[in-house]
Every structure is written in C-alpha cells, then in structure tokens.
Amino acid sequence: MPAFAYLDHNATSPIRPAVLDAMVEALRAGGNPSSVHSAGRAARTRIDVARRQVAMLVGAPPSEIIFTSGGTEANNAALAGTGRRRVLVSAVEHESVLKAVPQADIIPVDRNGVVDLAALERMLAGSPPTLVSVMFANNETGVIQPVAEVVRLAHAAGALVHCDAVQAAGKAPVDFRGLGVDYLSLSAHKLGGPTGVGALVVRAGAPFTSDRKGGGQESNRRAGTENVAGIVGFGAAAKASQDGLDTVALRGRLEAGLRAIAPLATIHGAAVPRLVNTTCISMPGVRAETQVMALDLAGVCVSAGAACSSGKVTRSAVLAAMGVEPAESETAIRISCGWNTVSEDIDCLIAAWKGLYIRVTHSDLSQARAA
C-alpha cells in the first residue's frame, strides 16, 4: 500500500506533470501579453492557446472565456456583473455564491440535494428579470443538478442562468452551449492545474460589466496583466482532462468496502447521479473531525465538507439543506478521487477507516458493559 493516500481532490488536485512543465516554460519565457514586441506577442500566443484548450473542455467559443484568479472570482463576477436585482440561488451552492448575494432568494433542494424544480418555477412566476445560480455538481456530495431543466424554466421566465461548474469540469462532461447557461465558472486547481487561476464563460450577448478598472485586458472584461504561467497551466490541465475522470470503478469499490464495514453508514446523495469521484459518507457515531484526524495519522487525506472555511470543521450547510439530522451530519466526511488515484489508495482508506470504526465500536461496547 502507498505510504500516503491523497483523497481530497475536491479541495485541490495535485498538479499534473505536464502542467508543471508548461508553466515552467512560460515562466522562463516571460513577456507581458499586452506588449507589442516579440516577447509580448509570444506571451499573447500562449494565452490564446490556453483559451482554446479551456474552451474545448467545456464546449464554449474561445472568445467567451474570461480568465480570472479562480472560481471564487468567477462566481462573484458573474453574480455582480449582470445588473440583475433579484437573484435566486440553490440552497447547496458554494459559499462564494451564497456570500456574494446574501439577499438572494434560496431555492430549496430535496433530501438527495437536487434542486426542487417545482419550487423554482413558482419562484420565477411573475417575477421581474432575474438571475438564477445553480451549480453543476456539489462540492461536498458530488450530486449533479438538472441544469438544463433549470435553464429551460429560467429562460422561459426571462431570467439569466449562472452555473458554477468548478467541481464538474474534468470530472463529468460539461457542455456550455448544450446546457444553454449564460455564465459558467471554472477553476484550474480542481483538475490538476495551478491554484490562483480560473475562468468565467460569458455567453455572447449576455449582459456583463466588470468591476475591475484599468487596462483593456481580456477584451476589456477583466483589467490587469494576465497571469500567463497560471493560464498556460490551466490550459494544459484542461487538455489533459479532455477525456474526463474515469474513477467510477474506484468509487464503487470504495463505497462497497465501507458499507461492508459499517452497514448503517449513510452515503449522502447515493440515490441520484453524482460525480464519479465523490463520496460523502457518515460513519455512525464518529464525528467528522475525529475521522479526518485519525485517517490523517494513518496516511490518508480526506476532508469534512468544503475546504474553504480556514481549516474549521463546522456542520455542513449542504447536508442541513438536504434535511440530514445534525447528529448524522456531524459524522460526514468527503472522500474525493482524482487523476492520480490508484486502487492502492482505496485499499489504504478502507483499512484505516475499518481500524477506526472497530476501535470506536469496541470502546463503546466496553463502556456499555462496564456500566
């Protein structure tokens, strides 16, 4: 078994070797892409290539790609740049969406974490022009949303649609034009690219005004000298992710192994389509932070929910929105595979999880007998 099993790809995925090589080459070459001399033109060419690579990953025209500093900026820019006053967001959105529009109306989800389309239709009825934000796939549970249906309802009501596809790109087929969304957010480091770079895809003709003022970079849609090496790395990661992430067999083996150890364990969202790399599971009676620390000591990296809370372990707002009881929510961890996950990593996780579960259950049984 490997000495170290990294199973937290939804937090960040280790950088791919081809990405690192491309970035080093770009850093060595240098050049400001806004300069008209040969070094500047070469840097501009590198960005143009990367733009085509990212566009190809999500089925979008290259001209509609705006490079950003990451998924959070892309989400914030989409929500702030449309000029729409009334915003609807799903209850399971990432914090970079929920906190960007704290006054937004919340679209409920069912017990599987899927957006309630009937509720959305009622919320849209008779409303003024609106922006609807529904993610492609949830970062904690991997549950995939019916985005095309959301678009159909929203557009019929005169609303625009933003989709946070940060967790989905490279793990599931994402087709910007096929979905019909108006805005799509992406992030490089979720698919083996560098941190600090992402993209917002804006449909041609969709309203968008950037709050960044300065030069005319990104076709006047995002001022500031481009992060050439980061963008090149994003492009290389997008190219390497073209075939998607084939980890469904690993996930099946993982979940079967954990359920064999603890038959009462709950896999959240298991009844609906999910990303093939993501498992959110509650170990009966063992708090999430205890599991994360014990597994870390055993050489396995997982997380308790989202990884954007400054290292804090708090109750999952996603599971709360799904109606999961607090006691069960507090025992949920997220296991997420990625481009370099191998079967030995799964074996390591199962063995460590089993050891912890046996220790805890035996301890509880001993205490009950002593009482």
C-alpha atoms less than 13 angstroms from C-alpha of 172 in its C-beta half-sphere: 21
Environment class of residue 3 by beta-carbon count within 10 Å: exposed (0-12), middle (13-18) or buried (19+)?
exposed
- Residue 257: which of 369, 145, 351 has the closest Cα? 351
* DSSP character string of 272-326: S-B-TTEEEEEPTT--HHHHHHHHHHTTEE-BSS-S-STT-----HHHHHTT--H
Cα 41 to the chain's mean position, in Å? 33
d(CA 72, CA 94): 9
* DSSP character string of 176-214: HHHHT-SEEEEEGGGGTS-SS-EEEEE-TTS----S--S
Phi and psi for 131 in degrees, rounded to 5?
-110, 130
d(CA 21, CA 363): 50
Q: Which of 280, 308, 337, 348 is catalytic?
A: 308
- Collapsing DSSP to helix, strand or coil, 5 comes out as strand
Rg (CA), the chain: 22
* DSSP character string of 103-162: TPEEEPB-TTS-B-HHHHHHHHTTPPSEEEE--SB-TTT-BBP-HHHHHHHHHHTT-EEE
Give whole-number Cα distances, 24 to 228, 245, 305, 307, in Å. 11, 25, 33, 28
- How many helices (H) and strands (E) the chain has is answered by 14, 12
301 is catalytic: no
Q: Tokens in use for 354? A: 């089993």
Active-site residue list: 308
